[in-house]
Structure 1
Amino acid sequence: MSERLAVGIDIGGTKVAGGLVAEDGTVVARARRDTPHRSKSPGVVENTIVEVVSELLDLAEDPVVAVGIGAAGFVAADRATVVFAPHLSWRGEPLEANLQRRVPVPISVDNDANAAAWAEWRFGAAQGETHLMMITLGTGIGGALLFDGQVVRGKYGIAGEFGHMQVVPGGQRCECGNRGCWEQYASGNALVREARSLMTANSPVASDLLDRVEGDPMALTGPLITQAAQEGDPTATELLGEIGQWLGVGIANLAAAFDPGTFVVGGGVSAAGDLLLDPARITFRRHLTGRGYRPEAQIVAAQLGNEAGLIGAADLARRDA
């Protein structure tokens, strides 16, 4: 009996990652392209998606029944239109229709965090959980809710955009247009921004980070900071701890509003593991309303890594096919 394969595409601020996904969640083939700079037209990004999908379709040895797109942005309730993407140049973009004209397999579009949450519930860290919230830490912060086996998308499809909760009135300017959004304090961009500010100030505590990029602060990336922390650099560890503290504050607010059983933290920044999550857990407990008198949600690392979004997008699309 042949496998019902599906293609999953995860579109982030920096990459388009794709996978050919089997029914048990296994990724049997992969393809990846860099995301064109946000100033380029939406058509350029769509061309990149089509390249990745076409490569994967050519690699498939069994029938591909669907293509699922996980987009980093606000996806309308029709699961076809990207209303707004802070890190890409999509504004009311009819993504499904544009891609369907060029791809010979049924396409569905969803928010990338919704897709990641679905994957972790089906195949990863949250199997069996009835009330799950997903936090994805990458270029920004994505989020999703999955209650009783259903993704909660909201009336207009835009539920779960936790990264744009205001946590510091009048704070850092966010790409969404507001100030003080959570993702300005607990994301990959925030981590790199804080590290670069120490480096450009010629702070001696940033000497190890400067050495790693040969004195060029603009060459610093989140993974380099994580690597430095894992190798014992105290400044990198402190920077990750600060991001973790902000993460814990936001999770405590979400627990007060939604009372889930599990928070799954994924995305590229979550590769730091307990260097990030231990400060988050400590701060969460300190800020949780009713602490000491209520059950506490667990905060766990995603198990599927950076591929959760594409696995979930594929599985959701196969489910709809």
Structure 2
Amino acid sequence: MDAIGIDIGGTKIAGAVVTELGEIVAEERVATEAGDSDAIVDAVVAMIESLAAGRDIGAAGVAAPGFIDAAQSTVYYTPNIPWRGEPLRDRLVERLDLDITIDNDANAAGWAEFRFGAGRLVSDMTMLTIGTGVGGAIVTRDQLFRGGFGAGAELGHMRVVPDGLPCGCGARGCIEQYGSGRALLRMANAIADVGGIGQALARVRDQNGKLSGHDVSALLVENDPGALAALRELGHWLGQACASLSAVLDPQLFVFGGGVSVAGDLLLDPVREAYVAHLPARGYHPEPEFVIAELVNDAGVVGAADLARVHLGLR
């Protein structure tokens, strides 16, 4: 049975028809009107209707940023869209003759990697998405973990530094402030400020007016020592976080997705080093693998579609 997956992001809404094998057979994208809740619902409805036209579609899954309730129906809160207790599933169901499931976007991406990507050979997997912020997904014993209220696995808001940097969630010291793309830019700017290995970073910043993620990525490709130092610092914090997560979750595999993950082993090497250095019972605790996600930009729609099948009991 084919299903539709929709991934609502801060700048775009992506949709696809996905087969039971995780293959995309049709897809669409539109810009997100992030400040207009009604416009987003209209866009999702129109996209599902368009993708379903002339096809035998059994269900649709919608991946949304933020906290989703345990019934996979209501968006408790999302940071970049004005949804507070938004009954998203009900609003879609009343306009569509189709079973609809709502899930967190990081959960959808993590599930896609577990089912069809880097995690398909294990039963217990933890995924961290390293983009502007840090997202997370947990699979344990072949089941997606959501928590008692549905808002679990917000791994980016695990605190790693007591009274550390303020986070957009209202807390201080979250891993999102030390292990995200935004954190990487802050670290790169700090290195540029002191000169030395930061000379190339400072030069690019002066030329462009500011450093961007693309600038840092380009310097990483050139093995620039300043950019590499920033990435190592980022990996150090992520490795510490993974060591703490292992003490609780004991995954067989850590998967890293998101824009920063394109650095590959340049990111994973310092993650592994810091993980081993901070792992409880070091030398006696089995060590997981650390890998880069395989599905990249398709993970959200593929995972959302497959979770719609799970919700119907077809998986």
Per the TM superposition, whether the score is higher than 0.5 is yes
CA 1:240 to 1:45, structure 2 compared with 1: closer, same or farther past 3 Å? Answer: farther
Structure 1 vs Structure 2 CA RMSD? 2.3
Instruction: Verify the 8 A CA contact 1:13 1:139 in the aligned structure 2.
Output: no
1:25 paired residue number: 22
Aligned partners of 1:238, 1:41: CA distance in 2, in Å?
41
Is residue 257 of structure 2 the alignment partner of residue 266 of structure 1? yes
Aligned to 2:288: 297
Which residues of 2 match residues 199-218 of structure 1 at below 5 A? 204-210=199-205, 214-217=207-210
1:106 Cα deviation (Å)? 2.0
Q: Which residue of 1 aligns with 2:36?
A: 41
- Alignment partner of 1:86 out of 61, 79, 82: 79
- The corresponding residue for 2:300 is 309
Give the superposition deviation at 1:312. Answer: 0.8
Deviations 1:126-148 (A, max 9, x none): 11312111111222111122112
CA contact (8 A) 1:268 1:306 kept: no
Structure 2, unmatched stretches of 5+, are none
Amino acid at match of 2:217: T
Residue in structure 1 matched with residue 235 of structure 2 by the alignment: 244
Alignment of 1:54-93 (within 5 A): 54-58=49-53, 62-93=55-86
Q: Is the contact made by 2:63 and 2:300 (CA closer than 8 Å) also made in structure 1?
A: yes
Contact 1:266 1:306 in 2 (8 A): no
Report the residue type matching 1:21 in the other structure: V
**TM-score, structure 2 as length reference:** 0.89
Secondary structure, counterpart of 1:17 in structure 2 = strand
Alignment coverage as a number of residue pairs: 310
1:169 to 158, 162, 180: 162
| Maintained 8 Å contact 1:16/1:34 | yes
Q: Which amino acid aligns with 1:222?
A: G
Deviations 1:64-123 (A, max 9, x none): 221111122111101011112234332111111122233343210011122122211211
- 1:139 alignment partner, one of 132, 135, 151: 132
Which of 8, 16, 22 is the matching residue for 2:13? Answer: 16
The secondary structure found in structure 2 opposite 1:280 is helix
Equivalent in 119, 129, 148 of residue 122 of structure 2: 129
TM-score, normalised to structure 1, is 0.88
Corresponding residue to 1:185 among 173, 178, 184:
178
Local SS of the residue matching 2:179: coil
Q: Which whole-Å deviations, capped at 9, do the CAs of 1:128-171 have from their partners, x for residues lacking one? A: 31211111122211112211221121111111011111112222
The one-character-per-residue Cα deviations of 1:253-276 (angstroms, maximum 9, x if unpaired) are 100111111111112221221121
Q: What secondary structure, in the 3-state scheme, does the structure 2 residue paired with 1:185 have?
A: helix
Identity across matched positions, percent: 45
